[in-house]
Amino acid sequence: MRVLILGGVGNMGQGVARDLVKQEPVTHIVLTSLHPDPARLSAKLRENEKTSMIKLDVNDHEGMVNAFKDVDVVINAAGPFYKTAVPVATAAVEARVNYIDICDDYEGTQILFDSEIDQMAKDAGITVLTGMGSDPGTNNVLVKWYADRLDTVEAIYLYWVVSVAELQGAAWDHSLHMTLGKIPQYIDGKLVHVEGGTGVVKEKFLEPLGACQLRYVGHPQPLTLPKYIKGVKNVIIKGALIPSWVDEMIKEQKETGFLGTEPIDVKGTQITPYDLALKLWETIPEGRDNGPQSSGLKVIVKGDRDGKKVTYTADMVGRMAPGTGIPASIAALMMAAGDVTVKGVVAPEGCIDPDKFLGAFLSRGARIHQTEHIASMFEINK
């Protein structure tokens, strides 16, 4: 099994590669970058005989097609995905090679499902699996696992927290972009659009994260989960960057125009405020609290079983790179084993067997704290 990881020298790409190099079916991993400097790789990847590096640009369609033809699966870890998911998937379809990404931007997901890419992939007999990271990804599979144990599903709440101590590169672009404008949520059986960064709620996560203030964010699950979890009425996703001063500053930047995407004239020079803000976020002042080196997920699924109200809750905490990379690695191995049979564009909850995935995930040391709460009317037999 030969794998190409786009953005393979980045934090998330290396998270995928570190798991794949350990797997016997994997014979070679091609790590791509615009700047393929071996010094950017961890020693274990740099010195591993299974890995190699090449220069590849997501804007070079022909270059991607030619490179993709030499591998069995392409994994796109090169964000931000509102810019890269569609062109990379298009090249994979043309090369007739299975594709996986960790896309967490709803715009890319929407285009993949609604454009000709879906039919092209079906005609080519390949799978375009989008959103196979942590969120989306692992939490989608958990939702499916719980949904399969319910007669009906009423509501799904997906919450996450990321410490800025773990953010770098394209993750900053996504973190700002996901709060801009009107973003999708699935409420009362309808896809609606709400203002990003609003709807503040407080939720408790596993230590060392604790209680965090969450806001509406633009992720793909309100678009995908209702496709596969029939009858669900609400799919809500909210997230937070911690420490809390980060989200508060992003809110202020948004309200004062510093996240504007239209160029403005500054002393005769056209400057886009968003680009400037993004550049400045790359360096947090020395001495400022960056939070713990960990991130967290919470999945809540509510529904009915045998006439009783059931609520499942799952909590996870850990490092972002392995938490995002390992799910994509597992999915690639499942594809190679013939466990992913859906052709065309699909989300994790539509093609990944939850039992097989979670078994592999837990075998790698993942820990999921879960609870099941059952409520029913008290009855006295007469």
Three-class secondary structure assignment of 115-150: CCHHHHHHHHCCEEECCCECCCEHHHHHHHHHHCCC
Are 145 and 106 members of one domain? no
Do 56 and 174 lie in one domain? The reply is: no
Residues 95 and 230 in one domain: no
Task: Say yes or no: 70 and 147 in one domain.
Answer: no
Residue whose C-alpha is closest to residue 209's, from 250, 168, 268, 166:
166
Residues 81 and 142 in one domain: no
Do 172 and 125 belong together in one domain?
A: no
Does residue 379 register a pLDDT over 60?
no
Tell me if 166 is assigned to some domain.
yes
Find, among 101, 20, 87, the residue nearest to 58 by Cα: 87
Residues 6+ apart with CB under 8 A from 110: 220, 223
> Is the pLDDT confidence value at 200 over 80?
yes
Residues 19 and 116 in one domain: yes
* Residues 6+ away with beta carbon under 8 Å from 255: none
Q: How far apart are CA 85 and CA 83, in angstroms?
A: 6
In a domain, 377, yes or no: no
Structure tokens at 74: 């392409």
pLDDT at 382: 44
Look at the block and give the residue holding tokens 């290396």. 14
Looking at the domain assignment, is residue 380 inside a domain? Answer: no
Residue 28 has pLDDT above 90, yes or no: yes
Give yes or no: residues 72 and 23 share one domain.
Answer: yes
Cα–Cα dist 86/91, whole Å: 9
Final residue belonging to a domain, choices 264, 290, 318: 318
Average pLDDT of the chain is 95
Q: Is residue 373 part of a domain?
A: no
Claim to verify: residue 282 and residue 331 sit in the same structural domain: no
- Give the up-direction half-sphere exposure of residue 287: CA atoms within 13 A in the CB hemisphere: 0
pLDDT band at 285 (very low <50, low <70, confident <90, very high): confident
User: How many distinct structural domains can be found in the chain?
Assistant: 2
Has residue 203 been placed in a domain?
yes
201 and 123 in a common domain: no
pLDDT band at 167 (very low <50, low <70, confident <90, very high): confident
What CATH number did the domain enclosing 42 receive?
3.40.50.720
Does 366 map to a domain? no
Break the chain down into helix, strand, coil percent, rounded to 5: 35, 30, 35
What is residue 377's predicted lDDT score, i.e. its pLDDT? 61
Q: How much is the average pLDDT of 314-343?
A: 96
Predicted local confidence at residue 37, as pLDDT: 87
When comparing pLDDT for 228 and 378, which is higher? 228
- Contact yes or no for 72/55 (Cβ under 8 A): no
Evaluate whether residue 109 is within a structural domain.
yes
Residue 259 has pLDDT above 70, yes or no: yes
The residue among 251, 252, 256, 219 whose CA lies nearest residue 238 is 219
Mean pLDDT for 48-72 is 96
In angstroms, the first-to-last Cα distance of the chain is 64
- 205 domain residue, yes or no: yes
Report the predicted TM-score, pTM, of the whole model to 2 decimal places: 0.94
Count CB atoms within 10 A of the CB of residue 274.
Answer: 21
The answer to whether residue 381 scores a pLDDT higher than 70 is: no
Which structural domain, as residue segments, surrounds residue 266? 138-318
Give the pLDDT confidence score for residue 168 in this predicted structure: 82
Residue 106: is its pLDDT beyond 60? yes
Pair 135, 219: CB distance under 8 Å: yes
Give the percent of the chain with pLDDT over 70: 98
Residues 127 and 256 in one domain: no
Query: Helix H segments across the chain?
Result: 11-20, 43-46, 61-68, 81-95, 106-114, 117-124, 138-147, 170-177, 221-228, 244-255, 273-281, 320-336, 348-351, 354-363
The mean per-residue pLDDT over the stretch 333-346 comes to 97
Of 318, 345, 377, at which residue does a domain stop?
318
Q: Using the structure block, give the residue that is written with the tokens 């101590």.
A: 165
Q: Distance between CA 367 and CA 382 in Å, rounded? A: 45
Q: Is the dihedral of CA 188, 314, 336, 329 positive or negative?
A: positive
313 and 172 part of one domain? yes
Interior angle at CA 252, CA 249 and CA 257, nearest 5: 125
Q: Is the pLDDT of residue 294 over 60?
A: yes
| CATH code of 251's domain | 3.30.360.10
Taking only the tens place, the pLDDT of each residue in 5-16 is 999 999 999 999
Give 378's pLDDT tier (boundaries 50, 70, 90): low
